Chain A
Amino acid sequence: MPIFSYLAIPRNGAKEALCADLAKISYCEIIPADNQDVIVLVTDTPDQNTEKNLQQTLKDLHSLQSLSLAFGYDDNENKGN
């Protein structure tokens, strides 16, 4: 059950489109910056498979230029420890 947070940078002028795209995707919550073209993306998926699929969906987004990982947490890995 991984939780990640990222800084999502839209392609030029595509912040609104990226917000709209991300808002449609399950397991995603967004916090757009008011004054910069930056969006905080928090993902919370139930299992690894869903996580993998989500990663692929994100990679395919045309409005997205880059994702920088800020935080990662996985229940399973934590239990393993």
Chain B
Amino acid sequence: MTMKLNRRRFMKYAAASSAVATAGSLFPGISFGDWQKINNNSGVVSWQKAPCRFCGTGCGVLVGVSGDRAIAVKGDPNCSVNKGLCCMKGYHSVQALYGKDRLTKALVRKNGSMVEVPIAEALDLVAEKLQETRDKHGKDSVAMYGSGQWTIPDGYVASKLFKGCLGTNNVEANARLCMASAVTGFMTSFGLDEPMGCYEDIDHANVFVTWGNNMAEMHPVLFSRMLANRKRRANVNIVDFATRLTRTSQAADKSIIFKPQTDLAVANAICYEIIKNDWVNWEFVNNHVSFHKGKTNIGYGTEDHFTFKDKAESISLEEFKLFLEDYTPEKVEKISGVSARDIKYLASLYGDPTLKITSFWCMGMNQHTRGTWINNLVYNIHLLVGKISTPGNSPFSLTGQPSACGTVREVGTLTHKLPHGVVMNEKHRQMAAEIWDVPVSNIDPKPSYHTVEMFRALDRGDIKFMWIQVTNPMVTMPNLIRYREGTLKDDRFVVVSDVYPTPTTDVADVILPAAMWIEQEGMFGNSERRTQHFGQILNPPGEAMSDTWQIIEVARRLGFEKQFSWDQTDYIEKIWEEYRRFHAGPKHEMASYKVLNERSGVQWPFVNGKETRWRFNPNYDPACTNGKDFDFYGKKDNRAWIWARPYEPAAESPDSEYNFWLNTGRVIEHWHTGSMTRRVPVLHNAVPSAYVELHPEDAAELGVVNGEKVKIISRRGEITMPAQINGRGVPTRGMVFVPFFDESYLINEVTLDAFCPISKQPDYKKCAVRLEKA
């Protein structure tokens, strides 16, 4: 009987599936939000939508559940991001839920050992310690460090508790390490954060330039979409502009290698060429652009208490031209190692009015001691030729994490930010105080510590209590030895919420077991302003609890019942609707909970039921009101800003003692520090340990062959690891590359904690090391 019933349900599922597929072929882009409800009744495997959590692309996945276990993943055909395709991390994502050592009980350090306790007892202790530290050492002695993998509600309640209730701006997130330069780039050039374009640009562009961006491994689904377009359409070319040969370089039509940090000079040289050849779109420039310069010789932030504030000054077009005189292709060839011919070639692609061009970048430009500047400079190029905010013409900053945009940038979980605006702005504080139901005097108008300085403050003892959620800073902080030692000092108290043991839980005084991904309801926000809701599909194991609810529990223990009065049955909906109030209006209107629940992601601004594909363009963006063909409404002068930003060298460059560049990054198989993907057998066995990539000639000089051990030594630390020669990536001579996913090889003990003085984002791509055969 059961068999027959299940079979019939299966046939109905097949019938519906067939009709949905037919609709998909007849009406491209059609979306069926209610599809999951019928699927759930199939009796075979129920499929429910979620965004993938393993990068910032925001691929829609359908998670197949049988009984109480997720057993399969497929790409969501209704999600326009990936249209049914996933990468290897996506397809294996559910296996990351089932590692044997999942944290299922709270642990508290007693007499030096971690002891299991009921989670309620652990939460009592967290609240008690937080209160005690605050009473004894002041409001800024406590801190929260979160993540671009926080859900939007996670980040929202963290900000509300710390900034609104506890009155400290000590809220930061690991997106400071990956996207802060993108934010300051957008803010300084446009006055508003996040890309003006969307992934549909890929279907329109004729030229793609990847700026220090190994998309083939880091954003493989988008990369495949780019390759598909190249195959399908005539006149599509990919140019890879990088410091190291990767799979992206191999797939590109042209690969151009530059010396680390000199992208600044090359970008200026492209602008020089565009002006020299009169490829400027004068109508666009005259109507929509203004010219500016800022401070120079701005430092690197390697010292404690470093401060910097830029000052914008208007300049004329003539002054900008004069500034560019230092960046002729011939001069820049000497700095960058890029031939003048290749620079002119790049300029000609941007300058050709018949070509639509999209620039992609991610960590190469953002993890850069002049990260804000290089973001500005790529915008300069697009602005000079007016190739922006139209389909296919897009300077596009890709995001690393699934909700770096949604949670960190939009909710504002950075020290200076609020969900709308910044703490320094009185009106923004008033809005937050009203929505949060707290006195406006609670919200401190002064930002406190950005991430690097926050960990320095912990080391110094200015911060004594830190709660870390959904991130693993004891693998990811640059100059790691100092910061790990800081956490271990006697009177520091560290709380870590996570799903698996990590080097960060190793330094914790309390470990809170967290619900992971689809074991809770939440939302992420991806690279293209798309908010993606997911329901709770599975129960978390043991006493594991969502990060949002952990914060709510602690907030209530601290006496903030009124501000955190939600019920566990619908708290995510209630939090979303409260948060959404911050973004009301055509520039950032967010979709309602109901709409998000129904669809595989919705792009903001979502105005009158319509998503905004291209901002600042009145054909698509309802916030444009100036009656012109573009409206850069983020800036007071209603113009996009071109910046004169010079080339300045890296904080640390190879010299006679430390004669190699060290570059770090990721591999396709692993997500960040590997705490989840290394527990997926297929992914772990594919790349079980980290390695150091060397150029074959450097390896020969050193006398090492594949697999032999190499010692990498910097002024801060050293590490010994196996060599990889002629692997998937090949650095240039004089450079080594190490992926950071493997906690057995903590490469960040070697890296430098220099950062962009404007964005405060560290540079993980450049420091000086020397090598020894081990």
What residues of chain A have their CB less than 8 Å away from a CB belonging to chain B? 1, 3-7, 29, 31-36, 38, 40-42, 44, 68, 70-71, 73
List, in ascending order, chain A residues with CB within 8 A of B35's CB: 31
Given contacts A7-B22, A7-B23, A71-B18, 14 further A-B contacts (CB under 8 A): A1-B8, A3-B8, A5-B19, A29-B16, A31-B35, A31-B37, A36-B30, A38-B30, A40-B16, A40-B32, A44-B8, A68-B22, A73-B14, A73-B15
Pick from B11, B31, B598 the residue with the most CB of A within 10 Å: B11
A4-B34 Cα distance, complex, nearest whole Å: 18
One of B11, B19, B31, B33 near A7 (C-beta < 8 A): B19
B11 touches A35 (CB 8 A): no
8 residue pairs bridging A and B, Cβ less than 8 Å apart: A4-B15, A5-B16, A5-B19, A34-B31, A34-B599, A40-B16, A42-B38, A73-B15
List, in ascending order, chain B residues with CB within 8 A of A36's CB: 23, 27, 30
List, in ascending order, chain A residues with CB within 8 A of B22's CB: 7, 68, 70
Pick from A34, A38, A42, A68 the residue with the most CB of B within 10 Å: A34
A80-B30 Cα distance, complex, nearest whole Å: 38
A35-B26 Cα distance, complex, nearest whole Å: 13
Q: How large is the interface on B (under 10, 10 to 19, 20 to 34, 35 or more residues)?
A: 20 to 34
List, in ascending order, chain B residues with CB within 8 A of A42's CB: 12, 15-16, 19, 38
List, in ascending order, chain B residues with CB within 8 A of A6's CB: 19
4 tightest A-B CB contacts, nearest first: A5-B15, A70-B19, A5-B19, A71-B18
Given A3-B11, A29-B38, A73-B11, CB of A40 within 8 Å of CB of B19: yes
Any A CB within 8 A of the CB of B439? no
Any A CB within 8 A of the CB of B681? no
A34-B14 Cα distance, complex, nearest whole Å: 21
A34 touches B16 (CB 8 A): no
A7-B11 Cα distance, complex, nearest whole Å: 17
A31 touches B12 (CB 8 A): no
List, in ascending order, chain B residues with CB within 8 A of A29's CB: 12, 16, 38
Kindly report which residue of chain A lies nearest to residue B7, judged by CB atoms. Answer: A75
Any A CB within 8 A of the CB of B20? yes
A33 touches B32 (CB 8 A): yes
Kindly report which residue of chain A lies nearest to residue B36, judged by CB atoms. Answer: A31
Given A29-B38, A42-B12, A42-B38, CB of A35 within 8 Å of CB of B29: yes
List, in ascending order, chain B residues with CB within 8 A of A5's CB: 15-16, 18-19
Min CB–CB distance A57 → chain B (angstroms): 19
A41-B16 Cα distance, complex, nearest whole Å: 8
Kindly report which residue of chain B lies nearest to residue A35, judged by CB atoms. Answer: B31
A31 touches B30 (CB 8 A): no
List, in ascending order, chain B residues with CB within 8 A of A35's CB: 29-31
By secondary structure, the A interface counts as strand
One of A1, A34, A71, A73 near B19 (C-beta < 8 A): A71
List, in ascending order, chain B residues with CB within 8 A of A31's CB: 16, 19-20, 32, 34-35, 37-38
Min CB–CB distance B772 → chain A (angstroms): 60
A41-B29 Cα distance, complex, nearest whole Å: 19
List, in ascending order, chain A residues with CB within 8 A of B32's CB: 31-34, 40
Min CB–CB distance A6 → chain B (angstroms): 7
Min CB–CB distance B252 → chain A (angstroms): 35
List, in ascending order, chain A residues with CB within 8 A of B14's CB: 71, 73
Min CB–CB distance A26 → chain B (angstroms): 15
A44 touches B12 (CB 8 A): yes
Pick from A41, A68, A71 the residue with the most CB of B within 10 Å: A71
CB neighbors of A among B1-54 (8 A): 8, 11-12, 14-16, 18-23, 26-27, 29-35, 37-38
Residue interface mask B536-563, A partner, CB < 8 A = 1: 0000000000000000000000000000
One of A3, A34, A40, A68 near B20 (C-beta < 8 A): A40
List, in ascending order, chain A residues with CB within 8 A of B27's CB: 33, 36, 38
List, in ascending order, chain A residues with CB within 8 A of B16's CB: 5, 29, 31, 40, 42
List, in ascending order, chain A residues with CB within 8 A of B30's CB: 33, 35-36, 38
Min CB–CB distance B8 → chain A (angstroms): 8
A71 touches B26 (CB 8 A): no
CB neighbors of A among B503-519 (8 A): none
A12-B35 Cα distance, complex, nearest whole Å: 24
A35-B27 Cα distance, complex, nearest whole Å: 10
A40 touches B12 (CB 8 A): no
A3 touches B31 (CB 8 A): no
Min CB–CB distance B23 → chain A (angstroms): 6
List, in ascending order, chain B residues with CB within 8 A of A4's CB: 15
List, in ascending order, chain B residues with CB within 8 A of A33's CB: 23, 27, 30-32
A70-B30 Cα distance, complex, nearest whole Å: 16
A48-B18 Cα distance, complex, nearest whole Å: 22
List, in ascending order, chain B residues with CB within 8 A of A7's CB: 19, 22-23, 26
A49-B37 Cα distance, complex, nearest whole Å: 28
Min CB–CB distance A40 → chain B (angstroms): 4
A3-B8 Cα distance, complex, nearest whole Å: 9
Kindly report which residue of chain B lies nearest to residue A37, judged by CB atoms. Answer: B27
A42-B22 Cα distance, complex, nearest whole Å: 13
Min CB–CB distance B145 → chain A (angstroms): 38
A71-B21 Cα distance, complex, nearest whole Å: 11
One of A3, A32, A34, A70 near B12 (C-beta < 8 A): A3
B18 touches A34 (CB 8 A): no
List, in ascending order, chain A residues with CB within 8 A of B18's CB: 5, 70-71
Min CB–CB distance A73 → chain B (angstroms): 5
A58-B33 Cα distance, complex, nearest whole Å: 24
Min CB–CB distance A77 → chain B (angstroms): 13
A31-B31 Cα distance, complex, nearest whole Å: 10
Kindly report which residue of chain A lies nearest to residue B78, judged by CB atoms. Answer: A34
Residue interface mask B621-649, A partner, CB < 8 A = 1: 00000000000000000000000000000
Min CB–CB distance B712 → chain A (angstroms): 52
Min CB–CB distance A81 → chain B (angstroms): 15
A3 touches B15 (CB 8 A): yes
CB neighbors of A among B341-368 (8 A): none
B598 touches A34 (CB 8 A): yes
B15 touches A71 (CB 8 A): yes
Kindly report which residue of chain B lies nearest to residue A8, judged by CB atoms. Answer: B19
List, in ascending order, chain B residues with CB within 8 A of A1's CB: 8
A5-B20 Cα distance, complex, nearest whole Å: 9
A4-B18 Cα distance, complex, nearest whole Å: 10
List, in ascending order, chain A residues with CB within 8 A of B31's CB: 33-35
A5-B12 Cα distance, complex, nearest whole Å: 8
Kindly report which residue of chain B lies nearest to residue A29, judged by CB atoms. Answer: B38
A47-B675 Cα distance, complex, nearest whole Å: 55
Min CB–CB distance B151 → chain A (angstroms): 23
Min CB–CB distance A66 → chain B (angstroms): 12
A5-B11 Cα distance, complex, nearest whole Å: 10
List, in ascending order, chain A residues with CB within 8 A of B8's CB: 1, 3, 44
A68-B22 Cα distance, complex, nearest whole Å: 10
A40-B17 Cα distance, complex, nearest whole Å: 9
